[in-house]
Amino acid sequence: MNTIQPSLHGPAEELRRLATAAAPTVHARPDLARVVLDRARRQRRARRLGKVAAGAGGGLVMVTTLAAATLLGRSDYVTVTQPSAAMEPTVHVGERVVLNKKLAPTRGDVVIVRLARNGDTYDAMLRVVGLPGDTIGCPAGPTGKCDAVELNGTRVPESYLGATVTEPFPANTVPDHMIFLLGDNRAVANDSRFIGPVGLTDLTGVAVQIEDRTGKVRGVPGAPAHPGPGGRDDVDPAGQVPPAGVSTPR
């Protein structure tokens, strides 16, 4: 019986001696053990590099995703696309509107509010006509038509309406923490004439500028001037409007 002695010549010599002891009649190339060991080392190194690369790649994906999730919605500004004709001719269907989520609404502002109907919630773009404590109405004139909306007994100039006609509606006093909203396209808008005043907590942003389909930017007709995003301001992309920070109207 062959007795295998410990080798003093390293792993390659040991493999060669083991092979010879197991099959003395087999003649292999002298450097076979070294080739096998080198190949094994290369494979182990490749596996280690692969794990490191996979770990680094996974970390980059995780960091990128986390950063996106963290930053999205943190900007003061968000862009929305007008889907309806309720605000024409001020905002046409398909035009993009930049909103400031931190502004408190003032009379004349165009805003986005979150409304509910038949169990579904949706965002609507309308104009603030009355603040808490205001009395809003559109009395019928001698012809039975309303010549102008009245705010606290004073006619409201609405040159931005164009040729639209406002049907008469009774005077309403706006409750605390609520606003009275009208669409500029009075013939089709579903506004406070039908749904009543809307809570300030449902406000998600105040419009600061409008961008038409060609990319041309303009202010909001009939609304107080508000600064738009500057060169260093982030603007969240179009989509669902993140919650706004609503404060007491000025």
- In degrees, to the nearest 5, what angle opens at C-alpha 97 toward C-alphas 91 and 101? 130
Which comes out higher in pLDDT, residue 39 or 200?
200
The confidence score (pLDDT) of residue 244 equals 40
The confidence score (pLDDT) of residue 117 equals 81
The DSSP result for 124-143, as a single string, is: EEEEEEE-TT-EEEE-B-TT
Residues 6+ apart with CB under 8 A from 83: 93
Residue 231 has pLDDT above 70, yes or no: no
Mean pLDDT of the chain: 75
Radius of gyration of the chain (CA): 36
| Pairwise CA distance, residues 239 & 121, whole Å | 14
Q: With cut-offs at 50, 70 and 90, classify the pLDDT of residue 41.
A: low
**Segment 172-217, tens digit of pLDDT:** 999 999 999 999 999 999 999 999 999 999 999 999 999 998 989 9
Q: Which of 7, 73, 17, 33 is nearest to 237 (CA)?
A: 73
Secondary structure E strands in the chain: 77-81, 96-100, 110-117, 120-130, 135-138, 150-151, 154-155, 169-173, 178-182, 198-199, 203-211, 217-218, 235-236
Cβ proximity of 123 and 112 under 8 Å: yes
Residue 58 has pLDDT above 60, yes or no: no
Q: Torsion-angle region of residue 119: left (phi > 0), alpha (psi -120 to 50) or beta?
A: left
Q: What does pTM read for this prediction?
A: 0.65
Which residue matches tokens 């009543």? 196
The confidence score (pLDDT) of residue 71 equals 40
| Pairwise CA distance, residues 105 & 99, whole Å | 11
The SS3 of residue 94 is coil
Q: Give mean pLDDT, residues 130-147.
A: 93
The confidence score (pLDDT) of residue 250 equals 33
